């Protein structure tokens, strides 16, 4: 019976020998449970068997599983980051056009952000909280993503971030979302929205 032990960067001799014989990367089989890349002392899996860790959950039990909190700090154009924009003085402003302002890239980025948010929310337990953030000032990467996500996920609701009332920021275009900008906040640009998973 396989029991998870604490992870170490030193691979056992047998494993190294096996890897030498098979230098090509192995494809992960869908019939086997995924391997944990890292399991440290406080990971909660040390001492568990694979059967205990990957147990099947009945449909009516799913709501009780998942994470209490999830952070989706999504990939974005970084146009709100003053330090990042300053780099284009060195890289050239044509690069800014290609990497930040290109319409096709923006469409792809919007899809990626929505997928990241959706997947993060899927991992959340009922009653749990998810924070979505970017360092972009654009509506397309912030409020538009939030709006579309809420339309597609009936178990998601925006919640207040009580501490935000004391932050040097202002409300976003959608109620309960928040924006930081260099003028208001004396920071780089940021967008923050907090969701809760509810039972329908």
Q: What are the contacts of 181-184 at 24+ separation with CB within 8 A?
A: 181/80, 181/137, 182/82
Do the beta carbons of residue 45 and residue 36 sit within 8 Å?
Answer: yes
Q: Is 73 annotated as a binding residue?
A: yes
CA 108 from chain centre, in angstroms, equals: 16
169 belongs to the catalytic site? no
Which tokens belong to 13?
């001799």
Helix axes 143-152, 103-122, angle to 10 degrees: 50
CA dihedral 82, 86, 92, 95 (to 10 degrees): -30
Active-site choice (22, 76, 135, 169) = 135
Catalytic residues: 135
- Would you list which residues are annotated within the binding site? 73
- Would you list which residues are annotated within the binding site for S-adenosyl-L-methionine? 73
């Amino acid at each position: 019976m396989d029991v998870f032990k604490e992870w170490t960067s030193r691979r056992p001799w047998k494993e190294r020998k096996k890897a030498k014989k098979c230098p090509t990367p192995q494809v992960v089989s869908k019939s086997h449970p995924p391997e944990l890349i890292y399991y440290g002392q406080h990971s909660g899996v040390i001492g568990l068997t694979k059967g205990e860790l990957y147990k099947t959950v009945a449909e009516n039990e799913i709501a009780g599983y998942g994470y209490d909190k999830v952070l989706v700090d999504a990939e974005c154009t970084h146009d709100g980051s003053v330090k990042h924009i300053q780099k284009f003085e060195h890289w050239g402003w044509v690069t800014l056009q290609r990497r930040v302002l290109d319409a096709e890239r923006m469409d792809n980025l919007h899809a990626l952000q929505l997928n990241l948010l959706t997947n993060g929310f899927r991992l959340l337990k009922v009653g749990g909280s998810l924070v979505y953030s970017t360092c972009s000032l654009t509506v397309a990467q912030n409020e538009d993503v939030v709006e579309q996500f809420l339309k597609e996920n009936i178990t998601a609701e925006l919640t207040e971030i009580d501490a935000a009332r004391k932050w040097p920021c202002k409300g976003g275009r959608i109620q309960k979302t928040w924006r930081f900008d260099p003028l208001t906040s004396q920071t780089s640009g940021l967008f923050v929205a907090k969701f809760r998973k509810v039972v329908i």
